Amino acid sequence: MKATRLIVICALSIAAIVMVIFCVQSVTTPIQFENTRAQREVTVIKHLVDLRTAEVEFHHQKGRFTADHDSLLLFLKTAPKKEVLKEGSLTDKQLEAGLTEHKAVKILNEAKKKALKNRNLSFEDNDALYAYIWANDADVKKNGLSGFRRDTIELNMLQSLYKGEYDEQSIDVIVEIPFSEGKRFELEVNNDYKTSQGIRVPLFEARAPFESYLSDLNKQELVNLVDRETKLEHYPGLKVGDVFAPNNNAGNWE
């Protein structure tokens, strides 16, 4: 009897310990899952933002978005980035008189052409050219454009967009979903979308489903997360842009 009683007590003790373990896990597992998810999504969002920057620049130069990862990367590695260097600005008085940025640049360009065509003049650089037209061109002086300057220059695309964060060897990572073992972001475009006014507005979307960057975590928690977001009619993951309606390329976390 004593042996049987001891066995029963031991069995009950083990069962109690197991129940405590299950109770603790039922509380800690969701917390651990959400903590890891939050940490990983910081990195995933960073890549999505960088990817959005690339798509926006691609659209700016080509008038459309692309769903081809390799074409986008080639563009980033080889295309020049044009920027306008600005010096001086138009006054309220000039603007009220009808002088616009476009008109001012046109006046300057015409003045530079005339100066460069003059065989009696030579200029070491753009600084010397501007100094001459500011001081001598009648239209420039008439419109008060001395000190006003606009120059279009070509910069390295990666340096301009990402300030040295990436180079040609490392830029490939922006199309890859972190923590996914090399899976790429899902890219989709709708370059023929038109508003109710008939205006063409190209759209793009870049997506990272939960399963891509949380697959190695607790399976049940992942299923619960996907099910919850789906029932709320939310995209089950992180994404930027929308191919069904313009949203200023916003992320679904913003």
**Mind listing the pLDDT tens digit of every residue in the chain (254 residues)?**
555 665 555 555 565 555 555 554 554 679 999 999 999 999 999 999 999 999 999 999 999 999 999 999 999 999 999 888 899 999 999 999 999 999 999 999 999 999 999 988 898 889 999 999 999 999 999 999 999 999 988 889 999 999 989 999 999 999 999 999 999 999 999 999 999 899 999 999 999 999 999 999 999 999 999 999 999 999 999 999 999 999 999 999 99
**Reported pTM:** 0.76
In sequence order, the 6+-apart residues with CB closer than 8 A to the CB of 172 are 73
Q: Which two tokens stand for residue 115?
A: 């100066």
Instruction: Report CA 149 to chain centroid distance, whole Å.
Output: 30
- Strands (DSSP E) contained in the chain are 80-87, 149-156, 186-190, 203-209, 237-241
73-76: list long-range contacts, CB under 8 Å, 24+ apart: 73/171, 73/172, 73/175, 75/157, 76/157, 76/158, 76/161, 76/171
Residues 106 and 220 in one domain: no
Residues 93 and 38 in one domain: no
* Contact in structure between 172 and 68 (CB atoms under 8 Å): no
Residues 98 and 210 in one domain: no
Residues 177 and 236 in one domain: yes
Structural domain count, the chain: 2
Q: Give the range of the structural domain holding residue 132, as residue numbers without chain letter.
A: 89-147
Instruction: Report CA 180 to chain centroid distance, whole Å.
Output: 20
Q: Which two tokens stand for residue 11?
A: 């069995």
124: in domain = yes
Residues 120 and 68 in one domain: no
Residues 232 and 106 in one domain: no
Residues 167 and 143 in one domain: no
Residues 52 and 93 in one domain: no
Residues 181 and 203 in one domain: yes
Residues 174 and 235 in one domain: yes
Residues 117 and 169 in one domain: no
172: in domain = yes
Residues 174 and 114 in one domain: no
